[in-house]
Structure formats: C-alpha cells, structure tokens
Amino acid sequence: MIKIVIESVILLFIFFLIYAILPTLIIRMSGWGIIKRINAPAIALTFDDGPNPEYTPQLLDLLQKYGVKASFFVVGSKVKANPAIIKRMCQEGHTIGIHHYDHISSWILSPFRLKKQLKMTEQAISEITHEKVTFYRPPWGSFNIASLFLSKQFKVIIWSDIFGDWKVAKGKNGLLEQLLQATEAGSVLLLHDCGETWGADRLAPRYMLQSLEIYLQENINKGTKFITLNEVNF
C-alpha cells in the first residue's frame, strides 16, 4: 500500500513537472512567445489583480493628475463586479488586458479550464469597452504546456521589473528606492492595484500609490515618457 502511494506521488510530481513547471521555466528563460520589454523610448506602467473599488479609482486619479496612461491586467470576476471602473479606464485611454477570470495559476488549470478563463475575461472586458482585447498576462507569470497555444490570439506580456509591492512591508521599506532605479527606456514595470489575492496584503496598494506618485513626479520632471501597451508597435 505504501509503495503504491509513493509511486502515485512520484507520477503526480512528474506530471506536474512536465505540465506546469518545465513549460514555465522554458518560456520565461527563452522568452518564447512572451514580451518582457517594449521597443519604445518610454516606460510601460502595468498593474495587476484589479479592479479594486477602493484603490483602482485612486490610481486612476493619480495617473490622470500626471497625464500618464497605463495598462491594466484585470481579473474577470472583478470586472463583472466593478464595470464602472473598467469603463473609466477605457474612457481615459488606458489599455485593458486579461489576467484570468479568477486569480488562479495556470499550473492548476486544465487546457479546457484555461481556455474558459481567457474567454470569460475577454468577454467581460469587451462587453464594457466594446473594444478588442489584445493583451494577456497569466497570474504569477505561470504557464502550462497548453498556455501559448490557447493564448496565441493575444500578446502575452510579462515584465522587466517586478517589485514585491503586494506586501505592506515592501511599500514601507524599499519600494520607492527600487522604483526610482527603474528608469530604463523599454522597461515594463509591474505593480498591483489590489491586495485581495492570495499572499497579498490588503493595505499594500496604499503604500504603492504613495511611492508611485513620487516616482512619477521625479521622472516626469526628467522628461521620462510613459505609454500604454496599445501605443507600442509590436
């Protein structure tokens, strides 16, 4: 009996390795089918996990204050719950992409469930914006063996810079310093406008917004340009 259990665990691990871990490593390391940087003399600000009814409107206010356009990778179920925020994003010229219907890793999605997550989120966005959805970023940047085949209708965007801003402690200790170093043209910066996902802190976006405003002030004064993904010629 113990032998059967051990063999089953080993087989399960091998399957998981082949189906999820290895594809993610290969895709992320090779850059196959994904975009980590943009070919433009500007920086792309991107935000994951929203819309959040408290922090996303504050973020939109901040971006509007400085005349900056950004890109949002949204969770479909939250789109359904907060349609007015999505409508505002669209009206103010921001790019809206897919971040699954639920904030769930591709590692534990079958090809059928992954396809459903993409389709449902695409539909939720387009019903509000009446625009084609072009971009996709999987939660945690995780892929499975079917990911790029099922998402080939989208441009898969990862990031060049990630900051751990989903934790409160990071926002209090080091986020601004890291942001201020992320000034290279072509960078794709990843931040989060929602702290409700697994492993995140609910108050984390508050500190992200504080650091982001200082970052925008300093870089706009230096002439740094910020663009949305829709403005990039891929």
Catalytic residues: 48, 192
In whole angstroms, what is the distance from residue 47 CA to residue 183 CA? Answer: 17
Angle at 84 between CA 207 and CA 140, to 5 degrees: 50
The answer to whether the beta carbons of residues 195 and 203 sit under 8 Å apart is yes
The answer to whether the beta carbons of residues 230 and 134 sit under 8 Å apart is yes
The answer to whether the beta carbons of residues 193 and 72 sit under 8 Å apart is yes
In whole angstroms, what is the distance from residue 70 CA to residue 53 CA? Answer: 18
Nearest to 156 by CA among 141, 137, 172: 137
Nearest to 109 by CA among 136, 142, 86: 142
Residue type at 140? W
CA distances, 92 to each of 29, 48, 104 (Å): 35, 18, 28
Find the length of the chain: 234
